[in-house]
Structure 1
Amino acid sequence: MYKILIIEDDNKLRKELSKLLVSYGYECIYNEDFKNIIEYSLTANADLILLDINLPYYDGFHICREIRKQSNIPIIIVTSRNTDMDELMALNLGADDFITKPYNTQILLAHISTVLKRTTMNNNSQILIHKNLSLNISNSTASHQDNKIELTKNEMRILSLLIRNKETIVSRDDIMNELWQSDEFVDDNTLTVNVNRLRKKLETIGLRNFIETKRGQGYII
């Protein structure tokens, strides 16, 4: 079930919108503390935000900009302000979509579904998970529980190849072919150095022996 955060100060409209979304299988949350709405948005673990522009304390443009500095959560601007400049500003600030009030409910639902599907596809291709390790390809970081490490380009490529082929031996030749996609020359010794450095980094976040060597064959996780 997708969780949608509604940032709307019109109580009646917010209730109607929430009722509509719940009837279509979504979970809806909101917060009337608009002074701290940015902090709430970043910690609410919502899958999508429906954001009005005209709000107390901060307008939707400011909220969108501040959220986007720290999160890629999908944001759809839903507002009665319908000028081209408003739409252009919203999209330039990182909003994923822009819908004007009054809206056709089926069109709104279609926009929400499209944005969520697109985001899910992007996330699935950018984040790989295996044995409680999460590899974020978009920013070359790996995390385990509450610990996170930064990876070099080669370390990220090695780890992503192993995760995509989990529980299967990946030969050293296959890994070197993967690393040849970069501008950096990679020979057999360079690969060994990279794998050893990667192992040490993984140990610092509690993943000892995460990469296993199969002598004469390659590596496996």
Structure 2
Amino acid sequence: MAKIFIVEDNQQIIRNVTDELSKWQHSVATVDDWQDVTGEIMATQPDLVIFDITLPSFDGFYWIQDLRKHSQVPIIVISAADIDSNVMHAVAAGADDYLMKPFSMTVLLAKVQALLRRNRQEGNATQVDWDNNYFNTLTNEVQNERGQIQLTPTEGALLQVLLSHRNQTVSKATLLEWLWQGGKYLNENTLNVNISRLRAKLAPLQLDRAIRTERGVGYRLVTTDE
């Protein structure tokens, strides 16, 4: 059972999502104070957050960016189908997956379960070593002799894909497919933003230059002996 926090002001959607998640014994919390969404999420300590974009106070982009200052909890964004740019901006702000309205509850549940599995990494090795660096796939932490940094689930998944193909170029199309089911509503700029964010996170460990850009093709994670 997981704890899901829903940031949505449409009561019918809240009821429908709650009913579906409850069938799988997930518990649900919602917003009481629209001026303190981040505070309520942090107090609840959920396993996953579902975010709408259009909200009563600040929009979803604001709250996602604010939440990311304090937490790496997995985030799924739901957005109106006629606003494709919302998806790109939300993922760039730190969301891990997206769903367009109107959506099927079955599809939402599948995305929730998949993201929870990704975050927990059940049954998989929890540590990947390369050179003198260590990546914990369970906690999304990277460490070496220079220190330790915390990645979001999407940043962790991105690093894991690059590590599984170390010293090989991974195409942008492959990364979009792996992380966002083909990126139907995204463009390469969103992927570039996430790569930039990952590099910035890795910089204190002097690993930012380990991710090379193969112009027009994709990205490659290199080892020190290359």
Q: TM-score, normalised by structure 2?
A: 0.55
User: For residues 118-160 of structure 1, what are the alpha-carbon distances to aligned partners after superposition, in whole Å with 9 as ceiling and x for unaligned?
Assistant: 111299836xxxxxxxxx78265xxxxxxxxxxx72898xxxx
Greater RCO (Cα-Cα under 8 Å, separation 6 or more): 2
Q: How far off is 1:104 after superposition?
A: 1.2
1:125 aligns with 2:117: no
Map residues 159-178 of structure 1 onto 2, 5 A cutoff. none
The residue type paired with residue 9 of structure 1 is: D
1:16 aligns with 2:16: yes
Q: How far off is 1:24 after superposition?
A: 1.9
Q: How far off is 1:110 after superposition?
A: 0.7
Preserved CA contact (<8 Å) 2:20 2:109: no
Q: TM-score, normalised by structure 1?
A: 0.56
The residue type paired with residue 126 of structure 2 is: S
1:100 maps to 100
How far apart are the structure 1 equivalents of 2:39 and 2:14? 20
How far apart are the structure 1 equivalents of 2:47 and 2:125? 14
1:115 aligns with 2:111: no
SS in 2 for 1:118: helix
User: For residues 32-66 of structure 1, what are the alpha-carbon distances to aligned partners after superposition, in whole Å with 9 as ceiling and x for unaligned?
Assistant: 21111111112211000001111011100111111
Q: Given the superposition, is the C-alpha separation of residues 11 and 20 from structure 1 closer, same or farther in structure 2, using an over 3 Å criterion? A: same
Preserved CA contact (<8 Å) 1:50 1:75: yes
Q: How far off is 1:70 after superposition?
A: 1.6
Unaligned runs of 5+ in 2: 128-138, 149-204, 207-226
The residue type paired with residue 141 of structure 2 is: S
Map residues 1-221 of structure 1 onto 2, 5 A cutoff. 1-121=1-121, 125=126, 138=141, 153=145
User: For residues 169-192 of structure 1, what are the alpha-carbon distances to aligned partners after superposition, in whole Å with 9 as ceiling and x for unaligned?
Assistant: xxxxxxxxxxxxx99xxxxxxxxx
How far apart are the structure 1 equivalents of 2:84 and 2:116? 24
How far apart are the structure 2 equivalents of 1:44 and 1:10? 20
How far apart are the structure 1 equivalents of 2:105 and 2:140? 36
Q: Given the superposition, is the C-alpha separation of residues 101 and 125 from structure 1 closer, same or farther in structure 2, using an over 3 Å criterion? A: same
Q: Given the superposition, is the C-alpha separation of residues 137 and 109 from structure 1 closer, same or farther in structure 2, using an over 3 Å criterion? A: closer
Preserved CA contact (<8 Å) 2:75 2:95: yes
SS in 1 for 2:49: strand
How far apart are the structure 2 equivalents of 1:70 and 1:23? 30
The residue type paired with residue 55 of structure 1 is: L
Q: How far off is 1:28 after superposition?
A: 0.8
Unaligned runs of 5+ in 1: 127-135, 141-151, 157-181, 184-221
1:197 maps to none
